Amino acid sequence: MSRLLVVENLGKRFGGLAANEAISFELQAGQIVGLIGPNGAGKTTLFNCIAGFYQPSEGTIHFLGKDITGHASAQMAHLGIARTFQIVRSFGSLTVLENVMVGAMLRNKGVGAARERALAALEFCGLAGRIAMTASNLTVAEQRRLELARALATEPKLLLLDEIMAGLTPSEVHEAVHLIKEIQLRGIACLIVEHVMEGIMPIADHMIVLDYGRKIAEGTPAEISRNPAVLAAYLGE
């Protein structure tokens, strides 16, 4: 297995507050890695550093062997890192199809080619019947899938998914899990921030647990669920 993403000693400080401190981990190509931790553990901050939305205060991020620390988010997308947002951010004045076309235009500026690719991504995410709708008219679950389709249309090597199962019904969670497995089969690695344990535990190859901005544990889902430090973080001493 080849190392896709290597995070070393990453730190992010907001004034006196250390949101991330000395975080190191690796992500292999094609792997699904779950990133969990209690509220305020620094998961989204870490995410934003990797996606280029925040400039890390210290440490390095390597992607495919290249130092990408501090690159802007648009550059990250060009390199092959795509993300979704915890609070969905669809382009409200565009249709579902046009939303995904914007993503597809990263690799090919032709409108016709982008349309083809967007249709394929929408089909893959089960939104083929919604293409003419305005994004704001979709259900929450559909909007999440729209974000996924849009990110996939950029043809990423690594997908950063920020709580895409939050607020979904059990059957919708089941569908989302299925979809992420399908994405993995296409050779795309996923780093997933998730609170919904029944969503992330069955599909993650590897888990990373954060608490108070630090990594407190990592391992397979089975190992994590037995780890005393993790149990303490979630349930209290």
Partner 1 sequence: MTAHRPNTRRNATLALALAVACILPLVVTSPSHQNFLILILMFAQVGVAWNILGGYAGQVSLGHVAFFGIGAYTSTMLFIHAGISPWLGMLAGGLVSSCFAVAIGWPCFRLKGHYFSMATIAVAEILQVLFTNWESVGGAVGLNVPLAEQGWANMVFNTSKLPYYYIALGLLIVTLLANWAIERSFLGYYFRAIKDEPDAASSLGISLTRYKLVAIAISSFFTALGGSFYAQKELYIDPGSVLSTSLSIKMALVTILGGVGSLFGPVLGSTLLTSIEEVTRQAFGGSGMGTDLILYAAIIIVVAVYYPTGIVGWLRQIRRRYAKPEARG
Show the binding pattern over residues 30-69: x = contacts partner 1 (CB under 8 A), - = does not. ---------------------x-x----------------
Piece of 1-9, 84-92, 126-134, 189-197 that binds partner 1 (CB under 8 A):
84-92
Among 31, 90, 122, 193, indicate the residue that binds partner 1 (CB under 8 A). Answer: 90
CB of 118 to partner 1, least distance (A): 10
Of 188, 196, 156, 204, which is closest to residue 51 (Cα–Cα)? Answer: 156
**Residue number, 94 or 216, with CB nearest to partner 1:** 94
Task: Take residue 62 and report the two structure tokens written for it.
Answer: 């390597």
**CA distances, 221 to each of 2, 102, 199, 225 (Å):** 21, 36, 12, 6
**Residue number, 98 or 163, with CB nearest to partner 1:** 98
Among 36, 114, 141, 148, indicate the residue that binds partner 1 (CB under 8 A). Answer: 114
Structure-token match 């990797």, residue found: 50
Show the binding pattern over residues 134-153: x = contacts partner 1 (CB under 8 A), - = does not. -------------x--xx--
Q: Are strands 158-162 and 81-83 parallel, antiparallel or unpaired?
A: parallel
Among 16, 39, 65, 109, indicate the residue that binds partner 1 (CB under 8 A). Answer: 109
**Residue number, 12 or 83, with CB nearest to partner 1:** 83
Other beta carbons less than 10 A from residue 5's beta carbon: 23
Among 20, 85, 148, 207, indicate the residue that binds partner 1 (CB under 8 A). Answer: 85
95 is a contact residue toward partner 1 (CB under 8 A): no
159 is a contact residue toward partner 1 (CB under 8 A): no
Own/partner pairs, 18-26, CB within 8 angstroms, 24+ separation: 18/213, 19/45, 19/213, 20/45, 20/46, 20/49, 20/56, 20/213, 21/213, 21/214, 22/59, 22/214, 22/215, 23/59, 23/210, 23/213, 23/214, 23/215, 24/59, 24/215, 25/208, 25/215, 25/218
Residue type, 9: N
**Pairwise CA distance, residues 61 & 8, whole Å:** 6
Among 121, 154, 188, 206, indicate the residue that binds partner 1 (CB under 8 A). Answer: 154
**Residue number, 148 or 224, with CB nearest to partner 1:** 148
8 A C-beta contact, residue 184 and residue 28 = no
CB of 129 to partner 1, least distance (A): 18
Instruction: Point out which residues bind partner 1 (CB under 8 A).
Output: 51, 53, 72-74, 76-78, 82-83, 85, 89-94, 98, 101-103, 105-106, 109-111, 114, 147, 150-151, 154
